[in-house]
């Protein structure tokens, strides 16, 4: 339970930093390293297995990982091509739409097959 709590706190911190326009390349690298090492380390524990990629409690961390890397990619292409600010914002909006569409397709294909686990009793207890 403690890992999920810490994971979601770090996700919330990265999300708030990004919303407050405090995004840096260091944030993306640090969060990516944390996510990859943490997920691979957790998946090596036999009891845990691939639950970090299947639990609905831990999916925001995956979305933040993909979102930060997508934002980093759009910023990198913005600075290398010297686009105007309006075009850069439009490119970010298009990238966000592609991310949302790809996420919707993945959820649409995997959810009926039972890939994602249900919300745990701890999380349900918070809302009851």
Q: Which helix (H) or strand (E) holds 94?
A: helix 85-110
Give kind and range of the element (H or E) at residue 59. Answer: helix 59-81
Give the integer Cα–Cα distance in Å for 41 and 61: 15
Q: What phi, psi does 82 have (nearest 5°)? A: 55, 50
Q: Dig out the tokens for 121 from the structure.
A: 């009793």
Residue 46 in contact with residue 5, Cβ under 8 Å? no
Q: How far apart are the first and last CA of the chain?
A: 19
Phi/psi of residue 64, each to 5°?
-65, -40
The reported pTM is 0.75
Q: What is the pLDDT of residue 9?
A: 93
pLDDT tens by residue, the chain, 128 residues: 677 888 889 999 999 998 888 889 999 999 999 999 988 988 888 887 887 787 888 888 988 998 899 888 888 877 666 667 677 677 778 878 888 898 889 888 888 887 777 777 776 776 66
């Amino acid at each position: 339970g403690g890992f999920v709590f810490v994971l979601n706190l770090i996700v919330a911190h990265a999300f708030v930093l990004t919303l407050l326009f405090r995004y840096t390349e260091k944030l993306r690298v640090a969060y990516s390293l944390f996510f990859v090492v943490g997920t691979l380390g957790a998946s090596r524990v036999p009891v845990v297995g691939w639950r970090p990629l299947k639990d609905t409690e831990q999916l925001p961390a995956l979305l933040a990982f993909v979102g930060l890397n997508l934002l980093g990619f759009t910023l990198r292409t913005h600075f290398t091509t010297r686009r105007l600010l309006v075009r850069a914002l439009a490119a970010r909006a298009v990238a966000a739409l592609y991310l949302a569409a790809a996420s919707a397709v993945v959820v649409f294909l995997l959810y009926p097959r039972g890939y994602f686990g249900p919300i745990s009793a701890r999380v349900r207890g918070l809302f009851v």
